[in-house]
Amino acid sequence: MMPMLLRVIKPFVGSLLTVFVMVLALTLPAFAVGVYQMPPLSDSTWIVDDAGLISRINEGKIADRFKELAQATGNEVRFVTIHRLDYGETPETFANALMEKWFPDPESRTSQTILVLDDVTNIAAVKVGNTSAELLPEDISTSITDETIAIPLRQGNKYNQALLTASDRLVAVLSGEADPGPPAEVTSFERERTFASAEETEENRGNATVIVVGFLIAATIIPMATYYLYQSIGG
């Protein structure tokens, strides 16, 4: 009976496994984002918020700043947020590949800047064209990713604050203004005490002694008073 049942079930099990593998193969890549999935560049493409990190209001603010920067100076900046990169990809390699996709002609990318932020690792990278790099050198680019963006993220994943501050700094520098620098990171070493100080310990010990002595006196006097009262009533 059992061998016959196994012969009947075996083809169905094989078919189910095949379907499961096919579904898994089709589903897993959907969770990762590659450069080939980025939308084509248009005149209104200033932010590609694939990870959904920026509010609509702040996205509009940043886009307006970048548009005004491009009209005033010719320097263009674009932000891209990613939720889960392809295997082996990093924000830096993604930014490099995206620059080549959006600006295949080397001359077209000289005044371009692309910032990529991965919300899984909270790591950002900046790719800068040759002309823009004269105003935005590597040390400032590194400070923007490692401080301007990283500090708000370390303080509670404040993505809107991080990207707004980064956009302000990029616009200032690429406009030829002085670099405002990164935000100050305030580290507080004050911690709420979960233990008593020496003075508090001594005070608590004295209070405990008074309470114990009070209980001992009460335990002695109350029975004696009760006994004498009983004797008095009986007499």
pLDDT value of position 140: 98
pLDDT value of position 26: 40
Distance of CA 193 to the CA centre of its chain: 28
> In the chain, what are the domain boundaries?
31-174, 191-226
pTM assigned to the model: 0.68
- Tokens matching residue 202: 């001594």
pLDDT value of position 231: 63
pLDDT value of position 197: 54
Could you read off the pLDDT of 152-173 as tens digits, one per residue? 999 999 999 999 999 999 999 9
- Tokens matching residue 169: 């700094």
The answer to whether domain 31-174 has CATH 3.10.310.50 is yes
Per-block mean pLDDT, blocks of 10 residues, the chain (235 long): 49 44 41 84 94 97 98 98 92 97 96 97 97 97 98 96 98 97 74 51 58 65 65 63
The answer to whether 174 and 132 have CB atoms below 8 angstroms apart is yes
Q: How far is CA 40 from CA 119, 211, 221, in A?
A: 22, 79, 93
Q: How far is CA 218 from CA 105, 210, 221, 229, in A?
A: 95, 12, 5, 16
d(CA 103, CA 35): 13
